[in-house]
Structure 1
């Protein structure tokens, strides 16, 4: 490997081409033919689009999506580095009718941005290395910064009511305010000299009270923020900094931001509005690494609760999907797309996943990370993608049990969701697998932070502000 920015040699390929051992090896190789590729076990897992029906009728009128971008900047060219990470996350609401109006052009034009409704952006900064809050050590600085990010950002904007904060949505989910109000969360004390396992629960009857934002460790007296449930501080240290948590901060912020919408409508007794909204996440319906406790102990039960409520009320309150751009499932789709019948959906079970995608292992794919179920969708020759749909089972079932034999008929509004997504495909990235979609492509453009000129400007800005 060369040094950073070192240009590669223009002639060393000659040594490879002229090497007799290389030539001999290639002559002993042959291409694997299309019919020689291992047969995929689609029996019972593939469903023609024409055979898919909605379990519950729905009339989706809006699409809401969230996405973010981040950029690390180093404000010191010498050792030690002083690094910050800037984030820009947006949530965007579209009328489905407006999105369908873009269907005829299939490309993203800057003028289209004027048609967008209700864009709200959230910007924040996190210390990454050798920068800390005054009177705090580095790890505490990162913990406190994460807590303040969720406390101070509100769905209703910077000037909105404090009850609309993202932090209150985290508490609403953890304490299960949407159902029996008895939820708790196990959190390890962040004091490196303690490691006591603590139960985080409401300290007062009203979950909105600030007293429910933190607890004190009964062993060492250390302050524990409710956002410590993400346990990202375990990936932070004084030497290596916080670089390992950059993407996790954005992932959990995006998810909590979308779930704020659920809390808003449910607390205002307007759940039926949820049936008119398709929520789209850029990426899997999952949270990884240290965030997995929050994913399967907090978010997944909420999705299961809404699924049961939807069945009882015969209204789909949970039209929530993820669209994968990369990963093992996307690579599998690229390699097998030609063998999947057009206009069909493959719903892989655990056996299929282990045999053809992840390989055989003792763990259950997604058991501690996913709150959605993956499927492979193929339309015509120009349309294929990996789709996550929110878990289609109630609280009496478990992900581990369900993934062994998922059923297309369990999904509430798969037919309607697919019809909308097919109309929203975008040719911004031609010949791409998976397909790009208009809402994701548009919000990507709005929130991404470029290397030039944004990174340079943020570096200058940081140098001026941090002394």
Structure 2
């Protein structure tokens, strides 16, 4: 790693232009490269026996679309101290009817008032200290981050009566089941205590939660936030910072926004829930420290399928599965879908052989991945919730698969590869660009922080 020039008095130290030869000529490096497994080429992938046709039946129960996305950008608080940073996060839930979309699509000219119908969006904002920063009422970076996340969930309601933190309690403690939940579902086993250095296991019981959604700490007498179940404190370091939690946090907030909207629809118009298609940016799963949340999500999905036949899917825009989808584009016929089995995933997409006793990603995902080629030739990787993950899923294991893929086709967007119109639009409305958004936010952060 080169040296930086801070005062413009010395040149920037660039990396060597010749040191690569020591790596290329090293015998151990050469031997290691020969050990790397390369999956078969796309031409050798057999998909004829594992693909399914998408139904051409024009019936579509969906009347409205709700898409959720989030993004973040970094801002340096003090240019003279560039390692002191804060991240700004923004999330959006976009809602529009298929009728409005059809009207805009049929218009010869799109007026601003037409597009306004498709931009009914709720935005949530969060400023999160991530390195060499802490609140005035906190003693550490970790304490500041956990407090900021808890306050974000406590204050945001999406213009509803309940806050996101109340919906988190509804979700985690299965309050939607009323008196039918098990004793095990009345508490949460938190693997590490965020208030102690030892970080011992602590059980958070629903009956011990106060009106502010905190629990008594059995070791310190302090209060543990309900949002601490995300276990983000485990990857916050006082020196290297908290930037490592951002991906986990964004995915979790996106999920909770969807759950919050579903909860409000159940309270106000439960019959309408069957007519709404929820689209999440990314796959259907929780990862890293938040992975255990996939278990209550699986419970909620099963309950929603039983009661309301919920329509929910994740759209993946990048990664190994999207790369593979593009690679096999010519082999898949228009209007066909490929339901990925464990054997297929580990043979043609991911390295290794997987766990012989458990389905792929069963400790984080609550859905299966499907590669879909529309009749127009666009390729999509769609994550579809399942009642139970299996090593060899079939169409029967993915509720509402035909309806979901039919709407994916209807919502296709030609602006980008593998894009859906609602996801592309909500991303445009909430994403924070490197220029000029990042520079403006950096100036805002520098001017706002009192020294």
1:25 counterpart residue number: none
Tell me if the contact between 1:425 and 1:438 (Cα under 8 Å) persists in the aligned partners: yes
Identify the match of residue 321 of structure 2 among 299, 321, 329: 329
Q: 1:193 aligns with which of 197, 209, 219?
A: 197
Q: 1:110 to 1:239 in 2, by over 3 A?
A: farther
SS in 2 for 1:249: helix
Q: Which residue of structure 1 aligns with residue 134 of structure 2?
A: 132
The residue correspondences of 1:144-163 to structure 2 (distance < 5 A) are: 144-156=147-159, 161=161
Partner residue of 2:68? 66
Distance in structure 2 (CA, Å) of the matches to 1:283 and 1:37: 24
State the Cα distance separating 1:37 from its structure 2 match: 5.1
Gap change, CA 1:426 and 1:109, over 3 Å in 2: farther
Contact map agreement 2:77 2:84 (CA 8 A) in 1:
yes
1:404 Cα deviation after fit: 1.3
Structure 1 partner of 2:361:
366
C-alpha distance in 1 between matches for 2:169 and 2:306:
22
1:245 maps to 245
Q: Contact between 1:286 and 1:369, CA under 8 Å: does it hold in 2?
A: yes
**What is aligned with 2:52?**
47
The structure 1 residue matched to 2:331, chosen from 331, 339, 344, is 339
Please tell me whether residue 464 in structure 1 is matched to residue 447 in structure 2.
Answer: yes
Map of 1:170 onto structure 2: 168
Summarize the Cα distance change of 1:111–1:283 in structure 2 as closer, same or farther, 3 Å threshold.
farther
131-140 or 378-387: bigger deviation: 378-387
Contact 1:108 1:442 in 2 (8 A): no
C-alpha distance in 2 between matches for 1:328 and 1:389: 17
2:114 and 2:247 mapped to 1: Cα distance? Answer: 29
- Structure 1 residues 221 and 118, CA gap change in structure 2 (3 angstroms): same
Structure 1 residue 44 displacement after superposition: 4.5
2:203 and 2:322 mapped to 1: Cα distance? 39
Matches of 1:276 and 1:446 in 2, distance apart? 24
Q: Which moved more, 1:117-126 or 1:214-223?
A: 214-223
The answer (yes or no) to whether the contact 2:85–2:132 under 8 Å persists in 1 is yes
Q: Does 1:377 align with 2:364?
A: no
Deviations, residues 345-378 of structure 1 (Å, cap 9, x unaligned): 1111111111111123343422111122110101
The equivalences for 1:161-240 within 5 A come to 161=161, 164-179=162-177, 180-182=180-182, 183=185, 184-187=187-190, 188-203=192-207, 210=211, 213-240=213-240
- TM-aligned CA distance change 1:192 to 1:153, over 3 Å: same
The 3 A distance-change label for structure 1 pair 242 and 108 is farther
Distance 1:113 1:388 in 2: 28
Q: Distance in 2 between matches of 1:112 and 1:128?
A: 40
CA 1:37–1:189 in 2, change beyond 3 Å: closer, same or farther? closer
After TM superposition, give the deviation of residue 107 of structure 1 in Å: 12
Counterpart of 2:92 in structure 1 is 90
Cα deviation, residue 305, structure 1: 2.1
Further displaced range: 138-147 or 296-305: 296-305
**Distance in 2 separating the partners of 1:362 and 1:128:** 35
Q: Name the structure 2 match of 1:298.
A: 296
What is the CA distance between 1:215 and its match in structure 2? 1.1
State the SS of the aligned residue for 1:71.
strand
SS at match of 1:221: coil
Question: Shift of the alpha carbon at 1:38?
Answer: 5.3
Compute the TM-score of the two structures, normalised by the length of structure 1: 0.81
Say whether the 8 Å CA contact 2:70–2:92 is kept in structure 1: yes
Q: Contact 2:54 / 2:406 at 8 angstroms: preserved in 1? A: no
Q: Alpha carbons of 1:302 and 1:443: their partners in 2 closer, same or farther (altered >3 Å)?
A: same
Query: Alignment partner of 1:125: what SS?
Result: strand
3-state SS in 2 of match to 1:373: strand
Tell me how large the CA RMSD over aligned residues is.
3.1
Map of 1:427-446 to 2, 5 A cutoff? 427-429=414-416, 432=417, 435-446=418-429
Distance 1:112 1:325, change over 3 A: farther
Shift of 1:2: 8.5
Is 1:422 the equivalent of 2:422? no
- Alignment correspondent of 1:354: 346
TM-score, normalisation: structure 2: 0.83
Q: Deviations over 1:89-129 (max 9, x none)?
A: 11111101112234458999977532225311111100011
Tell me if structure 2 keeps the 8 A contact 1:107–1:428: no
Q: 1:239 to 1:388 in 2, by over 3 A?
A: same
8 Å CA contact 2:47–2:331 kept in 1: the answer is no
Give 3-state SS (helix, strand or coil) of 1:234's partner: helix
Q: Deviation string for 1:4-38 (max 9, x for gaps)?
A: 9999x9xx9xxx9xxxxxxxxxxxxxxxxxx9855
Q: Aligned equivalents of 2:297 and 2:270: distance in 1?
A: 18
In the superposition, relative to structure 1, how do residues 199 and 78 fare at CA in structure 2: closer, same or farther (>3 Å)? same
